[in-house]
Amino acid sequence: MMELRQNIAKKRLYEGKTVTCFALWGYAGSDHIERLAPIKPHAIWMEGEHGNVDFGDLPNQTRACDIIGSTPILRVNQNDQGIIYRSLDLGAMGIVVPHVNNKEEAENVVEGGKFYPIGKRGSFTSRQGIGVKDYHNLANDQTMLIILIEDIIAVDNLDSILEVDNIDVFFLASGDLAQSMGFPGQNDHKEVQKVVDESLKRISAKGKISGAIGNKGNVKSLYENGVKFYLCDPRPYMAEGFQKYQDFAQKALDK
């Protein structure tokens, strides 16, 4: 008999540790995931809302995550129970749901992501559960549910959203939040950051786990506001590295 694979990211969070999740934005192949093995990310964020990850991609991409010891997390494109549990059936161990704006929508995520007695996930064995005895009674403990707080209406409803159990991470997404506040493209606007900081503190005060996109400029502030789940966008660091290479090469050529 096989043993159910452990959700590394979820385990770390409930041990009080931080989680660093690598965003595959524009780099969606299973080979790309395998090449991340040396940096040992706790989790991989596969993009099914704004990216090209589809159901046919998930089995191999989640296998690649398993190979390198990272938790496979998929952002789906809508709060639909069928989409949520189909993604889990195909190997995802974490689901990110966008635009969760009230308590009822958060409850819908749980119903789609958890088997009875917690939710209504369709009865099927995920590729993570092949050969696992009693999978349906064990899987809920390893399933990770993340909701995006990314509209000002969600901030207004945050207290009631935080009442929903079995949501593992309440993730503040400043991009859409800025847009909903009338500041499109201005994630760093002082009014947006004020709302983000206050919301993170409210999440921590309720004993819940918060998440956000971390970078060199904000990671200290996020940590001080209680964030445990950090999403890393690699694109700025790739651009920075290439610029350093260009500068070095140009100096060498000028000699």
pLDDT tens profile 111-133: 999 999 999 999 999 999 999 99
Tell me the C-alpha to C-alpha distance, in Å, between residue 73 and each of 12, 52, 163, 179, 196. Answer: 15, 15, 23, 25, 23
Instruction: Let me know: does 23 contact 231? Beta carbons within 8 Å.
Output: yes
Overall average pLDDT of the 186-208 stretch = 96
- Say if residue 44's pLDDT is above 90: yes
| Helices vs strands, H then E, count in the chain | 12, 8
DSSP 105-157: HHHHHHHHHS-TTT----S---GGGTTBTTHHHHHHHH-EEEEEE-SHHHHHT
Q: Is the pLDDT of residue 205 over 90?
A: yes
Task: Examine the pLDDT at 168 and tell me if it is beyond 80.
Answer: yes
pLDDT classification of 60: cutoffs 50, 70, 90: very high
Residues annotated catalytic, as ranges: 50
Which residues are 212's β-sheet partners?
230
Per-residue confidence (pLDDT) for residue 179, from 0 to 100: 96
Domain boundaries, the chain: 8-254
Report whether pLDDT(253) > 80. no
pLDDT at 26 over 80: no
User: In this structure, which topology does domain 8-254 adopt according to CATH?
Assistant: TIM Barrel (3.20.20)
Residue from 134, 140, 142 nearest 2 by CA: 134
CA distances from 116 to 44, 140, 163 (A): 27, 9, 20
Summarised one tens digit per residue, pLDDT across range 1-21 is 789 999 999 999 999 999 999
- List b or e across 51-75, with b for residues whose CB sees 16 or more CB atoms inside 10 angstroms: bebeeebbeebbebbbebebbbbbb
